[in-house]
Amino acid sequence: MRAESTVGVVVFAGFEELDAVGPYDVLQTAAREGAPIAVELLAVDDADLVTASKGLRVEPDGVLAVADAPDYLVVPGGGWNSRAETGAWAEAERGVLPDRIAACHERGTTVTSVCTGGMLLDRAGLLDGRPAVTHGGALAELREGEATVVDARVVDDGDVLTCGGVTAGIDLALWLVEREWGEDVAAAVSTELEYERTRDVYQRA
C-alpha cells in the first residue's frame, strides 16, 4: 500500500448529494487531523462537471480507473428506488460502474457503499454470500440476491462495507476512519463536525 492511502468517492449523474458529500467531509477532516489519506472525487466518465440528484454540480478530480485503483472506494446511491433516469439504477443498467467496482476490488480496493450504492455493489457481485445493508426502500430487493441482509446501520465485512440510507454514510466513514487510522482521529473528526456518532456496526465474527 502507498505511504499515503488514496480514497476515491465516486460521483455520477444523479448521485444522492449527502451519500457522497458526508463521507467526503469526514475523510477530508480526518486527513486534516493527521490520517495519511488523500481523498478525491472520481467520475465514471471523463466530465468537467457532474450533476447530482438535487442539482448540486461537482467538479471531479479525475476518473475512476482500474489501472490506478484507489485503496478505498466510496460508492453513493441515489435514484434507485424511483428507477430514475440518472442515478444508481441507471448506472447499474449501463453496467460500466459495477464492472469497474468489481475490477477495483479484485485489485485490492476496499469498497464501501452508502445507501443504494449497496445495490451497485450487489450488481457488481461483491455482496454474494456477504452480510450487507442498504436503504430501507431497497432491502427487499437486496434480499432477493445473494447477500445476507443485516439489521445494522453499518455492516463491516472486511474489504466490503455497506450502510443504510443517506446519513448513515457519515457513520460508515467515521467507522472506517476509526478502523484504519485510529479511534483518536475518529473522535477528533466527530468533535470537529459536532456529530454524535451511531455505533450500530455489525462485524462478521
Q: Report the first-to-last Cα separation within the chain, whole angstroms.
A: 25
Element (H, E) at 102: helix 96-106
Please list, in sequence order, all residues whose beta carbon lies within 8 angstroms of the beta carbon of residue 39, skipping any fewer than 6 positions away. 7, 8, 9, 24, 27, 28, 31
What would the grid cell of residue 17 be?
448529494
Give catalytic status of residue 104 as yes or no: no
Catalytic residue among 10, 30, 115, 120, which? 115
Give 67's DSSP letter. Answer: G
112: left (phi over 0), alpha (psi -120 to 50) or beta: beta
Residue 1: Cβ-neighbour burial (10 angstroms; 0-12, 13-18, 19+): exposed
DSSP labels, 11-53: E-TT--HHHHHHHHHHHHHHHHTT--EEEEEEESS--S-EE-T
| Three-class DSSP category at 190 | helix
Element (H, E) at 6: strand 5-11
Q: Mind telling me the catalytic residues?
A: 115
